[in-house]
Amino acid sequence: MTHPADLPLPEAAAALRAGTLTSRDLTQAVLDRIAARNPQLHAFTHIAADALEQADCADALLRAGDPGPFCGLPVAVKDLIDVACQPATSGSRVLAGRIAETDAPAVARLRAQGAVLIGKVATYEFAMVGPDLSLPDPPARNPWNTAHITGGSSSGSAAAVAGGLVRMAIGTDTGGSIRSPSAYCGCVGLKPSYDRVSRAGAFPLSASLDHTGPLAATVEEAALALDAMSEGDWRPASARIGQPVNGLTIGFARNWFADDPQASPALIRALDAAASTLSLLGAQIRLVTLPDYAPYEAAASVILHAEALEEHRALIRDHAGAYGRPTLQCLAFGAAIDAEDVARARQAQTRLTAEMLAAMAGCDLILTATTLTPALPFAAFDGEKAVWTPMRTIAFNLTGQPALSLPAGFENGLPLGLQLIGRPGDEDLICAAGHAFERATDHSVQRPPA
């Protein structure tokens, strides 16, 4: 019999509506799973004291017969995002003791549907750099091998989902912070189109690049979660789940990883195999050459560091000693950036976005890598020198396009991820293709050792 905590969200929702499962029993099963596994994974930093009370309220809504789509389902929230009456420290001593007064809009939408907001999960300090062992909360660990990082900054979100603690967690993504932890931990991360999900109530890193979205165990669960959090008139991300990919043209951007010496040979093989699988499923695969990645990374870096410093100026003035050293070093980059630098980066953003969309001409979506290697060991971060993990993510924060990361294989027991990118508003296309690939392979059904 499937453990309640392992039930996919659609199955759990159906059981809740049928009365064969209660939210209290499901929530208790999740709490028990957290108690058993979190001491090794350090994914959760706070468990809601009223989790079972929330579940009882959800059960009452279910009995009343008019539940929302997420009614009774446990959800974790990155500690960068406000959940009323729960800690909101952004993983930093600077905000120690802060308790959120209200829900962030994305959280409020889930709460209104009866979701159980079971607790907060770890983040790199202010969503910047990590892992930082000097901070009060230990960094989340990769469920596949706890000697390795999860990636950041939605580190706890990925560890919680991949480790089987919850089926879905909310994260944020400014340069890849939903997608890279998903790739490293072997779960699904969906960065939506810019402004599809409200960024309010999340501590800003860079408002021009920030996105809020779900990490989940499967593509379908990520799509349903995004639909539940979305605001405005968007096509449902789940609208084409289960439909064949016949007729889709997928541009295979092999140049973005295969030509890079940092790319793992196993990753190259995994992405080539993914393109072949999608072709066998009926998609037309077209080799495309995307514009050079470096200018996207450079422009986004200028915008990110300039906006981050402005957001933190007052806090640095009053609480500099409370920041972790890696975070202060990251913020210091912003001091070397002036208004002209930012203006040039904004001009580049407009040009580069147009170039990216032009490169997609004739294609419905793009297939490329999420990260170029599996997760690094914690030992790589022991020294004073900054360590950068090679990714292919921040370009789509700059362009605002939706991007989906999902498992594509393994190297030495650690997950590898692929990325599917669409035009703004095309979450339904990338989720349809991702779901089809997921169903045709066994990457997503494999789970780390308990």
Give the residue numbers annotated as catalytic, written as ranges: 78, 153, 177
Q: How far apart are CA 394 and CA 384, in angstroms?
A: 25
Q: Apex CA 81: angle with CA 80 and CA 86, to 5°?
A: 100
Residues 308 and 301 sit within 8 Å (Cβ to Cβ): no
**HSE-CB for 234 with a 13 A CA cutoff:** 25
Q: How far apart are CA 418 and CA 36, in angstroms?
A: 31
Q: How far apart are CA 169 and CA 214, in angstroms?
A: 6
Which residues, 6+ apart, have CB-to-CB distance to 287 below 8 Å? 251, 252, 254
Residue 3: other Cβ atoms inside 10 A:
11
What the block records as the tokens of 39 is: 């001491």
The neighbouring-strand residues paired with 202 are 81
- What is the DSSP secondary-structure string of 417-441? EEEEE-STT-HHHHHHHHHHHHHHS
The CA distances from residue 205 to 78, 80, 144, 389, 442, in Å, are 14, 10, 29, 19, 36
| Cis peptide bond upstream of 444, omega within 30 | no
Q: Apex CA 123: angle with CA 122 and CA 129, to 5°?
A: 145
Q: Apex CA 180: angle with CA 281 and CA 133, to 5°?
A: 155
What the block records as the tokens of 401 is: 């396009």
**Phi, then psi, of 403 in degrees rounded to 5:** -145, 135
- What is the DSSP secondary-structure string of 265-314? HHHHHHHHHHHHHHHHTTPEEEE--PPPHHHHHHHHHHHHHHHHHHHHHH
Which secondary structure element, helix H or strand E, spans residue 228, and what is its range? helix 219-229
Which residues, 6+ apart, have CB-to-CB distance to 195 below 8 Å? 232, 400
